[in-house]
Structure 1
Amino acid sequence: MSNVSPFQPKLLSKINERLVLRMIQERGPSTRSEMSKYIGVTFPTVAKAVSSLLESQLLEEIDDASAGPGRPAKRLRLASENSQVIGITLSGDECTVVAGDLNGTVHKESVLRFPTPATYELLLAEIETCAKSFISSSGKSTLGVGVSVPAVIDYGKQVAIMSANLPLVNGKSIGKDIQNLLGHECVIIHDSHALSLSERLHGNAKELSNFVMLDHCIGIGLGLMVEGRFLTGDSGFAGEIGHSPVVLDGELCKCGKKGCLETVASEWAVEERVSKLLGRPVQISEVLELAQGGNLEVMQELERMCDYLAIGVAHVVNILNPGTFFIYGRVFEACPKLFDLLVEKTEELALKPSVAACSFARANGSLLDGTVASVINYLTDSLVPNLEDYLSSLSQGDSQNSIADETLVPS
């Protein structure tokens, strides 16, 4: 068995730093001794990794309140006192800018909202004003910015390729443009992926590596998590279920095609139908108030929405065979029985073995939380983008327990 590591010392240092971060993310504030035991590395190796993470402001030290007599041990936690990240959510009607810490906590006092402007230039100006107010007034170091976009995203180029519901970002390098304005690294993420991250961090997917997230809002999107990674497809376009055709020669969709799922099952489709029903324009918030108030005609329109949405959900169940299927949307928050109806209709349409193996649940995460989580993921994963691949290589090479100085031994 060779004692020579297949990796360079600098990479090994980064791997150790990533393992330290992952442990704290999973187990909370920890001492250096606890890290050494849990990760399976020597104390000096942990100390070196922690020192680097403290210097980069990803971690901070706190006193161990549970320590006994004598000099108290120091625990390390994800930075919250002196560091922050900025999260930005974009949609067709409203945009939000927030500040959060590296635990993924959104600072409720640091939330600014504004109506979505008519042009890309005005959008950038609003974002710059809001974000800079947090950056300049917080007294904290801003480590990065995350932006969730309702668009098909080229993750490699960080470009919003196409958004049916926010066309002003089409073809724009919005991440790069915001980075240039704010002077901080910026990453963009599909809004369905942001919701998936939020569910893993704050919701019911903490122990799940494989699940599906349906994002039902103005548009309809799908987040696919496989072995802890997003399934984005060859060009990043996977999950665009809202633009799957379900009605032959149906209504014109905002994407330019006809009969898409969004034309019969999205919030904007419901708004259009209820507006025709009432003879005046209404927004989804009023639609839901009418449904909650017992308006039978409005409720029938929402049930019709579920009929079509179940077709799309059944396709996903049959094709992907997910173990857990999360449903996100304010329609289902306001009218929980519509969630039950959607599941019932899906069970009628999907293959029995596939749907029997699938658990349906309402999502508990939020888009804001997920956007903040996207920055945290970017900051931590940038240390070692393919951590699991490296750990697998170490295992296959039988190099565990044999790396001098930069020992790396996953527990």
Structure 2
Amino acid sequence: MNNVSPFQPKLLSKINERLVLKMIQERGPSTRSEMSKYIGVTFPTVAKAVSSLLDSQLLEEIDDTSEGPGRPAKRLRLASENSQVIGITLGGDECTVVVGDLNGVVHEESMVRFSTPATYETLLKEFETSAKQLMLQGGKKTLGVGVSVPAVIDYREQVVVLSANMPFLNGKSIGRDIQAHLGQECVIVRDSHALSLSERLHGNAKEISNFAMLDLCAGIGLGLMVEGRFLTGDSGFAGEIGHNLIVPDGEMCVCGKRGCLESVASEWAIEKRMSGILGRPVRINEVLEMAQAGDQQAINELERMCEYLAIGLAHVVNILNPGTFFIYGRVFEACPELLNRLVEKTKALALEPSVSACEFSLASCSLQDGTVASVINYLTDSLVPNLDGYLSSLRQNDSQNGVSEEALVSN
């Protein structure tokens, strides 16, 4: 006779809830009958999962009048009328706070912008003031907060390890600190990782299992999706392309090393070079305006940036063989012809079979989309615990209760 673990029903319930959410994320509003058929579980099982998700305000019911007269069926959709999430974006120059729905829609009319403060304490106060203002609007329940950070993050410890362009964040648990200020669950994510999550959940990568995301802003980041799984690495450091050596004994980087990709191809690197050329401080927006107006010096610097970026992209293509390479950055939005130059240079450097199988495209999502996607991803994935960790705790508990591992496995 097999012993049954007391944890299994709870785990199975959470898995069913996750399957329901996944179906709605992928297929849109659905009835309970449609869920039962698509997921392959009984109607009562779906009804139980839906009931729990409604109680959690992750889902909401709407009438379905598309099937003609008679009593309308009830469809379930991701919450938008009664629930919301808050997305916070940190940038070297500007920070934003915005409201989003669980279906990934960002309400830009709600966006609060402010210049990035010089101190960590002031930053927290600004976020608290802005977020609380948005949480009180509309009468919706806030389910969580997502924060994108331009930094290397230790996801296990939820600590910023290195923010070369915002060093006052180093060593800080900004997610926990914001959570303490707001009284809301808060998840932090690296900005390039946030962009990748948004593209996967709500953008042009819904059907793509292998893709890379270049994030070009003040620094340079990389997001990676491999076989449908977001690659973070052992501690969360995966995708650190900006501080790879490109020019031996080259320019000093903000990280303290020489010759990093960021030192020759980031926004701050372009600003530094153009400032030296013109003999006065120049910001990236001015450089882009100059290039759009046909200024050859600005164009030359942006093309030089593409040549160095292509080296980094070629390495990624050769090593990881992504099916699609998404490119994010206001440089490419302002000067679309630069994308063609970047792709041309990358194709010339990468291994032909790999690069010929890779499509290059501008990212369809923004950093604000990414912060909202990060908290949605956290809310849905937290329904099902890490199975390795779950089984480990399960074995320990059942061992204490005299349940053999053979019985556990057979269950």
Deviation for aligned residue 1:70: 1.8
Greater Cα shift, 290-299 or 317-326? 317-326
SS at match of 1:54: helix
Asked whether 1:351 is paired with 2:359, we answer no
What CA distance in whole angstroms lies between the structure 2 residues aligned with 1:197 and 1:229?
10
Alignment of 1:272-283 (within 5 A): 272-283=272-283
Q: How many residue pairs align between the two structures?
A: 389
Q: Does the CA-based 8 Å contact 2:208-2:323 persist in structure 1?
A: no
Deviation for aligned residue 1:68: 2.2
Alignment of 1:361-380 (within 5 A): 361-380=361-380
Which digits, 9 at most, give the CA deviation of each residue in 1:260-285, with x for residues without a partner?
01010001000111111222111111
State the partner residue of 1:175.
Answer: 175
What CA distance in whole angstroms lies between the structure 2 residues aligned with 1:173 and 1:108?
27
Question: Which residue type is aligned with residue 275 of structure 1?
Answer: S
Which digits, 9 at most, give the CA deviation of each residue in 1:211-253, with x for residues without a partner?
1001011100000111222212222211111100111111111
State the partner residue of 1:407.
Answer: none
What CA distance in whole angstroms lies between the structure 1 residues aligned with 2:137 and 2:25?
27
State the partner residue of 1:396.
Answer: none
Shift in alpha-carbon separation, 1:205–1:5, aligned structure 2, 3 A: farther
Question: Which residue type is aligned with residue 268 of structure 2?
Answer: W
Deviation for aligned residue 1:201: 2.7
What CA distance in whole angstroms lies between the structure 1 residues aligned with 2:5 and 2:105?
38
State the partner residue of 1:130.
Answer: 130
Deviation for aligned residue 1:389: 12
Shift in alpha-carbon separation, 1:6–1:353, aligned structure 2, 3 A: farther
Deviation for aligned residue 1:203: 2.2
State the partner residue of 1:78.
Answer: 78
State the partner residue of 1:54.
Answer: 54
Deviation for aligned residue 1:387: 7.6
Q: Does the CA-based 8 Å contact 1:253-1:263 persist in structure 2?
A: yes
Alignment of 1:6-17 (within 5 A): 8-17=8-17
Q: Does the CA-based 8 Å contact 1:15-1:387 persist in structure 2?
A: no
Question: Which residue type is aligned with residue 238 of structure 1?
Answer: A
Which digits, 9 at most, give the CA deviation of each residue in 1:69-121, with x for residues without a partner?
22111111100001000000001111000011101101122100100000000
Structure 2's unaligned 5+ residue stretches are 391-411
Deviation for aligned residue 1:388: 12
What CA distance in whole angstroms lies between the structure 1 residues aligned with 2:209 and 2:228?
4
Deviation for aligned residue 1:17: 0.6
Alignment of 1:294-309 (within 5 A): 294-309=294-309
Deviation for aligned residue 1:62: 0.7
Asked whether 1:37 is paired with 2:37, we answer yes
State the partner residue of 1:336.
Answer: 336
Identity %: 79
Which digits, 9 at most, give the CA deviation of each residue in 1:323-344, with x for residues without a partner?
2111111111111111000111
Greater RCO, 1 or 2 (C-alpha within 8 Å, sep 6+): 1
Q: Does the CA-based 8 Å contact 1:246-1:260 persist in structure 2?
A: yes
Question: Which residue type is aligned with residue 162 of structure 1?
Answer: L
Question: Which residue type is aligned with residue 97 of structure 1?
Answer: V
Alignment of 1:122-271 (within 5 A): 122-271=122-271
Q: Does the CA-based 8 Å contact 2:323-2:359 persist in structure 1?
A: yes
State the partner residue of 1:292.
Answer: 292
SS at match of 1:243: coil
What CA distance in whole angstroms lies between the structure 2 residues aligned with 1:64 and 1:388?
40
Which digits, 9 at most, give the CA deviation of each residue in 1:198-217, with x for residues without a partner?
21133221101211001011
SS at match of 1:48: helix
Q: Does the CA-based 8 Å contact 1:243-1:262 persist in structure 2?
A: yes
Q: Does the CA-based 8 Å contact 1:160-1:174 persist in structure 2?
A: yes
Shift in alpha-carbon separation, 1:190–1:40, aligned structure 2, 3 A: same
What CA distance in whole angstroms lies between the structure 2 residues aligned with 1:145 and 1:388?
27
SS at match of 2:81: coil
Deviation for aligned residue 1:5: 9.5
Question: Which residue type is aligned with residue 179 of structure 2?
Answer: Q
TM-score, normalised with respect to structure 2: 0.92
What CA distance in whole angstroms lies between the structure 1 residues aligned with 2:77 and 2:202?
17
Q: Does the CA-based 8 Å contact 1:145-1:184 persist in structure 2?
A: yes
What CA distance in whole angstroms lies between the structure 1 residues aligned with 2:180 and 2:6?
38
State the partner residue of 1:405.
Answer: none
Aligned CA-pair RMSD: 1.8
Q: Does the CA-based 8 Å contact 1:202-1:364 persist in structure 2?
A: no
Over 3 Å off, 4+ runs? 4-7, 385-390
What CA distance in whole angstroms lies between the structure 2 residues aligned with 1:385 and 1:223?
23
What CA distance in whole angstroms lies between the structure 1 residues aligned with 2:152 and 2:12?
35
State the partner residue of 1:90.
Answer: 90
SS at match of 1:137: coil
Q: Does the CA-based 8 Å contact 1:135-1:142 persist in structure 2?
A: yes
Shift in alpha-carbon separation, 1:5–1:45, aligned structure 2, 3 A: farther
Deviation for aligned residue 1:166: 1.2
Which digits, 9 at most, give the CA deviation of each residue in 1:119-141, with x for residues without a partner?
00000000000000011222110
Question: Which residue type is aligned with residue 72 of structure 1?
Answer: P
Question: Which residue type is aligned with residue 371 of structure 2?
Answer: T
Greater Cα shift, 5-14 or 333-342? 5-14
What CA distance in whole angstroms lies between the structure 1 residues aligned with 2:284 and 2:193?
23
What CA distance in whole angstroms lies between the structure 2 residues aligned with 1:67 and 1:359?
41
Structure 1's unaligned 5+ residue stretches are 391-411
Shift in alpha-carbon separation, 1:324–1:385, aligned structure 2, 3 A: farther
Deviation for aligned residue 1:7: 6.8
SS at match of 1:62: strand
What CA distance in whole angstroms lies between the structure 2 residues aligned with 1:236 and 1:355?
27
What CA distance in whole angstroms lies between the structure 2 residues aligned with 1:136 and 1:281?
41
What CA distance in whole angstroms lies between the structure 2 residues aligned with 1:20 and 1:350?
41
Deviation for aligned residue 1:300: 0.6
Which digits, 9 at most, give the CA deviation of each residue in 1:147-204, with x for residues without a partner?
0001111111111111001111100011100001000100000100111112113322
